[in-house]
Structure formats: structure tokens, C-alpha cells
Structure 1
């Protein structure tokens, strides 16, 4: 209940964007060292811009990357009950920054074609 009241107050005075930016920088600072270590240990992993990760997940590169794997495995397991995933076209509807989609070629196989779409065009390039 308190969150709703605070959110309405901030919205009334047009302060939500400022609070969102401050929270982004708080997370960026909090995860600075772990994100730096992740980039050093995984130089070939391409990541979306920090703010996109923050908006869709949380600004922790390790969690962003690795937490997509079990979800992708779960998805492939369930879809495989109904359809063999070979030479298929697979669409991730609402893919966001591709946290799950990026792992599908490894888990479901690279004989498929993979596509992602999202309501927010800045996430899909």
C-alpha cells in the first residue's frame, strides 16, 4: 500500500523518471565490480546497453546471462513435447533484450531459425 502512495506522489510531481535514473545508477554502482569481472571473464559475450538490462531484468551481467539458460531449457522441454525442434522457425514474442532467446540455438539446436520481437523497438535490432 505504501509503495502505491509513494508512486502516485512521485507521478503527481513528475518525479518518476528522476527516481528511475537514480535507481539505475544505484544498481550500476552496486554491481560495478561484479560486472567488470564478468566482462573480463567473458569477453565474447555481447550484452545490451546497461539501461536496457536494468529496465528488463536487473543490472547484474552474470545473472542476466546465466538466468536465461534454465528458462530457455524449460521452454525447449515444454515445446518439445508438442513439436520436434528441428528446421523450425521460432519466435520469442516479447523477447525484451533477448535474455532467453540468446540461449535457444545452443539448447534447441542451430538447425532452427530464431526471431525475437518486442513492443519496445529499442530492444530489438
Structure 2
């Protein structure tokens, strides 16, 4: 988690034999949403949940409302602006789904599900 940010995390039993693509996609989803929370809702509390089930891996990141003023830098100035598109593409590439929605009291939630986190490679 990032320094100075109130945060909570909850991890269910994680798959020890997940392919690298699943691990990487889950990691990048969490990383992107933490960056988005820092940029758009500075000082907000953040909750990260990872749930592995037989059907796949669930990743949820929820931030609360900003407690500090957001920066006024544009995506062009920061070189950013395609994070949600990239997140959606990474999850879709693995046959998963991504939900983006407002969370209570001015926060934001990103929930991804990556199916069939198993040992068999696609087509193999």
C-alpha cells in the first residue's frame, strides 16, 4: 500500500499455481487503481480485496472520497489517461470481466474477475 494512505486489505486463499498472466493482470489492476485513487482522491482510504475461488480470481479495489485537494494536472501532462482502457483490455484478454462504478459517499470501485485460474495453458 502507499505511505500516508489509510488502507485495508483482505486476501482469501490465493492460487499457488496461477499462470503469470493472471498474477500480472491482478497486480496491474491493483496498481492502476491505487494510482487512480492517489491522483483523483488524494488522502482517501483504500480497500483491496483478493478472493481466489475454484472459478477464478476476484480483485476489488475501493477508495473513499478525497480528503485532500486533487491535482489539476491533465492526462496529457502526466502521460496517463488510458489506465481504465488498459485494465479493461488486460482483463478481457483473459476472458474476465471488469466493473467500474461509484462507491458510497463519493468513492470509486473497480472489481475484476479473472476466470479459471488453473494450471493448464490455453489450447494445451
Q: Which TM bucket (shorter chain)?
A: under 0.3
Bigger share in strand: 2
TM-score, normalised relative to structure 1: 0.27
Q: Which has the higher contact order (CA 8 A, sep 6+)?
A: 2
TM-score, normalised relative to structure 2: 0.27
* CA radius of gyration, larger in: 1
Bigger share in helix: 1
